């Protein structure tokens, strides 16, 4: 029978037994909310035009730190390696579409003994060269589904790379803001130390003139030294965040310290933030896009496991030359060939096929639930960050008034003390309160910027690579 006729006959027998995969899976258990819970003038329902959100801080140092980090961070480099591995796996799976070709050649010379029987000694030789082929025809989509699964895994690895980049940019920005916040707290402490030292000198002069007891001097010195004692822990925190920035940039700590020696104030940023609508998260957050790709990959794997229930069709063949005389090997009379289409159907494997399908179905269900969990977590993170940022702005406005009143209280209490109209305790209370207020204001500014960074991260802002 001609090979084409045989294949048509086999296909007409097998194709009616194929089954179609189930319809599209419903990823989301519940529809996303139409708007965010926070309704405030600080936010607008449009996404930022520029994904490089850190440039809104107008801080060249931060820009340069992130630029170095995305180039040298080892987590990013490992994510890029995982993309290369996923691409290689895809190419390996795509290779199943092509036939397997092999070549073999040999020469044999054999001589029999003339002393072991009635036959005389004989000498024979044999030479051959053969090109063979084995090709699986993907009738039921087993190879096609496995290739599709690897394509989705490859796409998911790209999204994982994007997620690493988004996280890295947020980590660098957060460490930088924490560092600048501590540096600003150091400046606050030093400024208060100078003010408190001036008060110490005032109490000493009043003690020397006999206007007050030495208790006032001792109390003034206690406040001064207590304030000064907070510097070492702040400086230790600065070193820790500097080291963290060094690791994020792929540098050793001593190299990072050289970069961060110059002190700078916290960036001033109180502007309207673009947040879009909840559905934008599905388009922007790389972790959600990666989860969606993994759902598609598991669906394709389920289809492949179902295809394994049905027969596999192969076409085997070979062509070559064989001859006893080496000089006649290339002669047309030495030509040999073989065409051997075949079908293989392992319809019973002790339940392995059924369990493989159940496993693939369970993995698909798990990936769908993971996708839904990621969406819920994303909405929660955005709502939390929006609420934190909005209230941090309100806190900053209130603390600025508190600091102004604290400064005025210190000035008034000190003037009254100089005139002998108020006890020194009022001055001490005013000094401690002012230091506390200024530290709270600095921390509130840092917390506001950190909340903004978390908001941009939750919205999926940052880096992206082409599909």
Q: What's the average model confidence in pLDDT over 311-319?
A: 87
Phi, psi of 21 (to 5 degrees): -65, 160
Contact between residue 207 and residue 216 where contact means Cβ atoms under 8 Å apart: yes
**Other beta carbons within 10 Å of 414:** 20
Contact between residue 271 and residue 393 where contact means Cβ atoms under 8 Å apart: no
60: exposed, middle or buried (Cβ count in 10 Å: 0-12, 13-18, 19+):
exposed
Tell me the pLDDT band of 51, cut-offs 50, 70 and 90. low
pLDDT digits 0-9 by tens, 144-194 = 999 999 999 999 999 999 899 999 999 999 999 999 999 999 999 999 999
Domains with residue ranges and CATH for the chain: 26-100+141-309+354-458 (1.20.1600.10)
Contact between residue 89 and residue 82 where contact means Cβ atoms under 8 Å apart: no
pLDDT reported for residue 180 = 93
Handedness of CA 69, 75, 79, 80 (dihedral sign): positive
Task: Report pTM.
Answer: 0.81
pLDDT digits 0-9 by tens, 1-36 = 444 443 334 334 333 333 333 333 356 666 666 665
Name the residue among 400, 387, 366, 406 with its Cα closest to residue 458.
387
d(CA 455, CA 386): 6
d(CA 244, CA 252): 10
CA dist list (Å): 107 to 112, 128, 133, 326: 17, 7, 21, 8
């Amino acid at each position: 029978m001609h090979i084409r006729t045989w294949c048509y006959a086999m296909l007409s027998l097998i194709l009616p037994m194929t089954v179609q995969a189930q319809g599209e899976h419903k990823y989301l258990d519940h529809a996303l909310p139409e708007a965010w819970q926070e309704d405030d003038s600080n936010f607008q329902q449009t996404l930022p035009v520029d994904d490089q959100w850190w440039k809104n801080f107008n801080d060249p140092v931060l820009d340069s730190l992130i630029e170095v980090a995305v180039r040298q961070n080892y987590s990013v480099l490992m994510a890029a390696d995982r993309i290369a591995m996923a691409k290689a796996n895809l190419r390996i799976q795509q290779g199943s579409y092509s036939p397997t070709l092999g070549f073999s050649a040999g020469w044999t010379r054999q001589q029999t003994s003339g002393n072991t029987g009635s036959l005389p000694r004989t000498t024979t030789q044999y030479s051959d060269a053969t090109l063979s082929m084995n090709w699986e025809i993907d009738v039921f989509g087993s190879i096609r589904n496995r290739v599709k699964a690897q394509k989705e895994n490859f796409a998911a690895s790209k999204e994982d790379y994007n997620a690493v980049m988004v996280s890295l940019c947020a980590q660098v920005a957060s460490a930088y803001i924490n560092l600048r916040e501590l540096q600003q707290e150091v400046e606050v402490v030093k400024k208060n130390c100078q003010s408190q030292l001036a008060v110490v000198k005032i109490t000493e002069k009043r003690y020397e003139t006999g206007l007050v007891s030495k208790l006032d001097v001792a109390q003034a010195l206690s406040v001064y030294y207590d304030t000064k004692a907070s510097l070492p822990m702040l400086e230790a925190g600065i070193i820790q965040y500097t080291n963290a920035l060094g690791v994020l940039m792929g540098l050793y700590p001593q190299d990072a310290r050289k970069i961060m020696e110059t002190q700078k104030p916290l960036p001033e940023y109180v502007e309207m933030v673009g947040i879009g609508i909840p559905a934008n998260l599905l388009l922007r957050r790389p972790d959600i896009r990666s989860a969606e790709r993994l759902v598609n990959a598991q669906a394709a794997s389920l289809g492949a496991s179902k295809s394994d229930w049905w027969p596999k069709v192969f076409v085997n063949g070979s062509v070559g030359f064989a001859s006893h005389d080496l000089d006649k090997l290339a002669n047309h009379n030495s030509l040999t060939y073989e065409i051997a289409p075949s079908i293989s159907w392992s319809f019973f494997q002790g339940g392995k096929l059924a369990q493989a399908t159940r496993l693939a179905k369970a993995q698909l269900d798990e990936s769908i639930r993971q996708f839904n969990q990621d969406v819920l977590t994303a909405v929660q993170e955005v709502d939390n960050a929006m609420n934190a940022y909005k209230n941090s702005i309100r806190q900053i406005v209130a603390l600025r008034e508190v600091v102004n009143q604290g400064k005025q209280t210190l000035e008034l209490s000190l003037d009254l003390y100089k005139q002998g109209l108020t006890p020194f305790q009022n001055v001490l209370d005013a000094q401690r309160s002012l230091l506390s207020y200024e530290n709270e204001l600095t921390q509130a500014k840092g917390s506001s910027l950190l909340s903004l960074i978390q908001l941009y991260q939750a919205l999926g802002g940052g880096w992206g690579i082409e599909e």
